[in-house]
Amino acid sequence: MSENRIRIHEVVTRDGFQMEPEFIPTERKIELIDRLSLTGLARIEVTSFVSPKAIPMLADAEAVMAGVARRPGTGMVALVANARGVERAIAARVDEVVLVVSVSESHNRANVRRSVAASFDGFREIVDLLRGTQIGVTGALATTFGCPFEGFQPLERVLRLVGEYAALGIRSVTLADTTGMGNPRQVRDMASAVRREYPEIEFALHFHNTRGMGLANVLAGIEAGVGRYESSLGGLGGCPYAPGASGNICTEDLVHMLHEMGCETGVDLSALLDASRLLASIVGHDLPGQVVKAGTSRDLHPMPTPAH
């Protein structure tokens, strides 16, 4: 991959919507996903095949997957938590599934009610079920850069858990800063270390902007050679088991920054900004994104008329 080519993975309709208090109608989810798939995003994390009791917002996963338009070049992705979830994902014809385990033992127990070891035991069954299909698998590591209950996690533990994914044959791993605790130096060092240890794996980074370091962390990740980033339209989202965590980094702000730096994303920023305005109308409240409010750095304004 060219060092100037950055792939963007959109997570708003899964990671973003699951934090909204009011149910978003299925047809509006489909409307937004179809708008996003026209922008050139590498993939869209559409939904999650988990218990509707756990996340009522995503109870319509099958209906959403059945209703979205499929366009070449944009993968339709879903998070799964167990064998039943992956069976549903296969039936819905997803392009890729995401598995999630926390680096932190306590966060994993809060998030999925099981130990880290038990999570990987379940992943083995999921990988077996996916054999013979064309569905890709990404393994995500939540709380890679810090846990709200345990604090910062040692590099050795992160490396060991990446190795657990590698042992399952998974060659795509996302390192997630679930709580927004990561800082640029830490991100650069961690991303460099995992890439050295596992050169056969393609890494992505997932940042939250909880403490205002989200885009700075992206720059650190690029310095370390990572070319894939997860973000949420409008900066929507958070984590129910990460006290104080605000939304993900904002997709349109990320794409704007990358374009101003001369990086290629394949994403149409103007279309993305239109999608962000649609999102605001769907959720009915203001969003954290900045570029949709201020305009791009290339937008010029008329000189003010001098007062007489």
Task: Give the active site residues.
Answer: 239
Radius of gyration of the chain (CA): 19
Q: CA 75, CA 73: separation in Å to the nearest integer?
A: 6
SS (H, E, C) 256-267: HHHHHCCCECCC
- 8 A C-beta contact, residue 98 and residue 80: yes
Burial class (CB in 10 A: 0-12, 13-18, 19+), 199: exposed
- 8 A C-beta contact, residue 13 and residue 234: no
Query: DSSP character for 7?
Result: E
Query: Which token pair is 59?
Result: 């109870």
Q: CA 103, CA 128: separation in Å to the nearest integer?
A: 23
Count helices and strands (H / E) in the chain: 11, 8
